[in-house]
Chain A
Amino acid sequence: MTESRIIDTTKAPPPPAELAAKAHPDLILGEHGLCPGCGEPVALRLLLEVLQELDVVQRSIGVVGHGCYGSFVQIMDVEVLQCLHGRAPSCATGIKRVRPDGVVFTMQGDGDMVNEGLQEVLHTAARGENVTCILLNNGVFGDTGGQQTATTVIGQRTKTSLDGRDPKTHGYPIPIADLVASLDGVAYVARGAVSSAGSVARTKRLIRTAFEHQLAGSGFSLVEILTMCPTGWFVPAAAGPDYLTESLEKTYPLGELPLRPIRLEAGR
């Protein structure tokens, strides 16, 4: 039994592993231009793989807000409306209402969804719009260089809270997924991360479940994905995943969130 523990590196890996290592998602057209260690490209890949696996690519319409991930418009091979900061859920509402057969999703960062667009996402959830919102939460405004957002966790250093977020000065972070889960009209809320192989695999399942809810017509779905932003966090690229686990995950526990126990009857 002991000899089987030694990995033979003189031969190529067996086919399944080899395929996985070489696989390039069909719906990603080129290379992203984001920083080393960024978690957002992983989240994009999961999202696009799910759309492909569900075989809904040719009826998918994405609405992308503003942030680093805005550059994905150029590399994601799915129809996209790039909209104003914070407004993606409202635009998605308009699209879904006139194209009920479309698979409509938004991709927003935490500054986009929770700062600028808090009203939009809450009302869209409460209306029970049958769309799927993806939140890429890294606790900072990455695109503008790492300033504090509404989800920055206590103690987290940002360019506008250099000594760490102090609730006395900066208030408390908003757990948007928990807020959304407390609303009627919501079918599914979950929180994942992309900081380890395991969390990546679990997050993909959460995204898939969210879209399955949309396909079943059961209402609003939200998947919050904790992503690494080593540049905005002032940590080395390789330290991003550990920093995420030690800081963001403590404030935003992973998993599917329980929905409001008392549910008003759906009126439609």
Chain B
Amino acid sequence: MTATQAPRLQLLDGGAAITASALAAGCRFFAGYPMSPFTGLLESMSRELPEVGGVCMNAESEIEAVNMALGASAAGTRAATGSCGQGIALMQEAVAEMALNETPMVLFNMARNQQDYFQCTRGGGWGDYRTITLAPKDVPEAVEHTQLLFHLAEKYRAPVIMYGDPILAQTQVGVEIRELDFGPLPPKDWALDGSTGGSGRSRQIWTWAMGKTTDPGLGPDGQWRMIAEKFAAIEAVEQRSESYLVEDAETVVVAFGTAALFAAHVVDELRAQGHLVGLFRPITLWPFPATALEAATRSARRVLVFELNAGQMLDDVRQYVYDRDTVRFIGGVSIHDSGMSFGPLLDAAPIKERILAELDRPSTQEVAP
């Protein structure tokens, strides 16, 4: 023992760090099906959860994994699951169900690249719903987001998504894991434990919200109106973003996740060379930080969207930027030969090259992707 309290930094990769943070948040059930680069998270969950009396299921499919987690969550336990792209696609049926029957759930999309933006923010299941989606830029932020996601899932009784990537999943960094307090939560009086059986009003979890014959309940119309109002309320209050050097920026670069980390580095380099460049980073991909984006781009001559896909967030930026005629797309599809990670476009040099190329163009010309 030393006299001073040393910071309790642990060297962990993204999967292990998220696991440790999830356990600190009280997660006691996890189910998943191996798929790179999500696999590391599943492996660390399978090691760590039994140590704290929790359960980790190596499910036989993504569909089973998400429905196991749905069951555990419906029974009142903090539960999570995850996968990447194709696996999340299989889970969308249950994500929609959870949004409509109001079951909390944390889904970790440890994605292969940034091509799941629509999948995370536009749903993919049936019905009127949205999913709160957080896109951390690095492992320490993912650690914080993990606990925030469990809080938001329970606060709103809804499925929520972390949109990670291979760099986030596999990079080892020193992180401090501690329990974070995001404020009080409503009681879990909806959770199934069997105790109301025989009371005439035994609990039920159902997308149609038709009550017992003794208690007619909201019914599907009332239930889905209530859920639509809930998501509208979430959209108004849960927007999160980061604006970096945008006050005097003639050029605002918009990027999310790991790509934003690289873009921030490039912005610093360009600033040092005298260019008035800033960065806007959506932290919540849904709700999209519309108000902050509008403010950050009010005086910009050009808004450059850098994302590693064919232009998915571009839709949101065009929708909410102060002047849509200033928007240009400078990202693109860039996949590693393995198919499992980013290609060469995720690097400071090509990002800088693309920004510099745009600085020479007339500011009012809109360029399609």
- Show the binding face of A for B, using Cβ within 8 Å: 26-27, 29-30, 51-52, 57-61, 63, 73-84, 87, 90-95, 97-99, 102-103, 119-120, 123
Contact = CB atoms under 8 A, between A and B. Distances in A.
Contacts of B203: 79-80
Contacts, number: 154
Given A80-B204, A84-B97, A98-B29, A74 B210 contact: yes
B194 A59 contact: yes
A79 B60 contact: no
Contact of A91 (B71, B193, B199, B213): B71
Q: Chain B contact residues: over half helix, strand or loop, or mixed?
A: loop
B231 interface: no
B197 A94 contact: no
A77 B198 contact: yes
Given A77-B198, A77-B199, A79-B193, A94 B75 contact: yes
B204 A73 contact: yes
Interface string B60-85: 11011001111111111101000000
Given A82-B101, A94-B72, 17 more contacts: A29-B212, A58-B194, A58-B198, A60-B197, A61-B192, A74-B212, A76-B202, A78-B198, A79-B192, A80-B206, A82-B207, A84-B97, A90-B70, A94-B57, A95-B72, A98-B79, A102-B193
B358 interface: no
Interface of B: 28-29, 31, 55, 57, 59-61, 63-64, 67-77, 79, 93-94, 97, 101, 192-200, 202-208, 210-214
A30 B75 CA distance: 26
A92 B73 CA distance: 11
B197 A84 contact: no
Contacts of B68: 90-91, 93-94, 97
A119 B60 contact: yes
B75 A95 contact: yes
Contacts of A30: 213-214
Nearest to A122: B60
Given A74-B210, A74-B211, A95 B204 contact: no
Nearest to A26: B198
A178 to B, nearest CB: 21
Contacts of B212: 29, 74-75, 77
Question: Which 10 residue pairs of A and B lie closest in terms of their CB atoms, listed nearest first?
Answer: A94-B71, A30-B213, A91-B71, A90-B67, A94-B72, A94-B68, A82-B206, A59-B194, A98-B77, A57-B197
Contact of A123 (B64, B72, B79, B206): B64
Contacts of B59: 90
A75 B212 CA distance: 6
A25 to B, nearest CB: 11
B67 to A, nearest CB: 4
Contact of B197 (A79, A93, A119): A79
B55 to A, nearest CB: 5
6 contacts: A58-B197, A80-B202, A94-B72, A95-B75, A98-B72, A99-B75
A78 B196 CA distance: 7
A91 B198 contact: no
Contacts of A73: 204, 206, 210
A90 B63 CA distance: 9
A93 B202 contact: no
Nearest to B31: A94
Contact of B194 (A60, A75, A92): A60
B205 A80 contact: yes
A29 B29 contact: no
A99 B61 CA distance: 22
Contacts of A92: 71
Nearest to B70: A91
Given A80-B202, A97-B57, A123-B60, A91 B194 contact: no
Given A74-B212, A84-B93, A90 B64 contact: yes
A98 B75 contact: yes
A83 B192 contact: no
Nearest to A87: B67
A243 B349 CA distance: 76
A60 B202 CA distance: 10
